[in-house]
Copies of this chain bind each other. A is one copy, B any other.
Amino acid sequence: MSAMPRGADSDRFARALLSCACEPGSASVGALVSDVGATRAIEQICQTSTSSRISTVDLTRVERAFEQADQVGARFVIPGDAEWPTQLDDLGDETPFGLWVLGASNLRLLALRSLALVGARAATQYGVRTASVLASDVAQRGWCVVSGGAYGIDAAAHRGALAVGASTIVVLASGVDHPYPATHAALFEQCRSSGLLISEAPPAEPARRWRFLARNRVIAALTRGTVVVEAAHRSGALNTARCAADLGREVFGVPGPISSTASAGVHALIRSGATLVSSADDVISAVKGDESDRQFDVADAISRLGVEASVTFQAVVAAGITSVADLANRLGVSQPDITADLAGLELAGLVERQTGGWAPTPPVSEHLQSHDTVQMLDFT
């Protein structure tokens, strides 16, 4: 199946065109899209300017983008899709037109319980070690680590989570088929195979310096909170923290020695109101506080599942307790696909690992006892 949208899916094509033609986070275009939709927005932009911002070059570019996405197995996820992480809509007119996604996991499910771990490229040994340990610890508590792909803290965060077998999300400023920096190719391949690479930029797009700032807003919006591990004054990681604060997300800072310039920006951040954290527990108890405020709504979590994840979830509920191999057999789906679904369902709080295999979580079991199961699972 090609990623290239056809016929009625003109919205997806229009949004892909915008992702090729516009800089990420263009609020003026975003406002127009909010008002009249992506297709009409493009028409209006073409009509209002003789030196049109969208040219036939872009039409060629977007077709090539879908071809390039096909070649690596990437997809273009847009608002309204089951896989769209609706928390990104908090960005308002700066909501991405869409996201190019590479990897088998479901973006929405993976990002449901996620935390950004960001920091300086010029990290110290202390920073790298700390980022890695924190990432391992939050991942083992069922939280998905989200970060960029840079040297230093970003890479250490992914490595820490991967080391305990967890999935991570790499948010790139370049195309998902050209993750930057190229020297992290092996790391990106690991991230892709167990989690996701995502980007606003279309495939083949190189990293451009100014796009890292725009990229940061996606990291901040996607996650429940942003943890800054090390950052000198004026570090880009502080920009991510500012975005997170503007969006009402939690902002955390990991302290370090006051003699370390790599911690100076974090200390300033804490002085300006970010929460000092010294462990994964500190972070999780803060974002869990948010969660318990909202109460865990099983029906709501189920209603947010994409089609494939819902089928897998239904199969787990039917079996009571089951293995990846059983599910793959029963549903005629590959084991890696089942594993990816289960990871998302686990992060969504719907299934959990037990000694005999995978089972519904206690809240789901309670919910099943008190509701009409058939109706609950009717997600059409």
Q: Cβ of A130 and Cβ of B259 under 8 Å apart? A: yes
- A379 adjacent to chain B (CB < 8 Å): no
Q: Cβ of B271 and Cβ of A258 under 8 Å apart? A: no
0/1 string, A252-275, CB within 8 A of B gives 1: 001111110001100100110001
Q: Cβ of B258 and Cβ of A257 under 8 Å apart? A: no
Copies per complex?
2
Nearest residue (CB) in B for A286 is: B271
- A86 adjacent to chain B (CB < 8 Å): no
Q: Which of B126, B264, B270, B271 contacts A257 (CB 8 A)?
A: B126
Q: Cβ of A270 and Cβ of B276 under 8 Å apart? A: yes
- A140 adjacent to chain B (CB < 8 Å): no
Q: Cβ of B258 and Cβ of A279 under 8 Å apart? A: yes
Nearest residue (CB) in B for A133 is: B259
- A278 adjacent to chain B (CB < 8 Å): yes
Q: Cβ of B257 and Cβ of A276 under 8 Å apart? A: no
- The residue in A126, A264, A271, A282 that gathers the most chain B C-beta atoms within 10 A of its C-beta is A271
Question: A130-B257, A255-B270, A264-B278 known; 5 other A-B pairs, CB under 8 Å?
Answer: A130-B258, A255-B263, A256-B256, A263-B278, A270-B276
* 10 CB-based A-B contacts, threshold 8 Å: A130-B259, A255-B255, A255-B256, A255-B270, A257-B257, A258-B278, A264-B278, A267-B276, A270-B270, A270-B276
The 6 closest A-B pairs by CB, nearest first: A255-B255, A258-B278, A267-B278, A270-B276, A271-B276, A267-B276
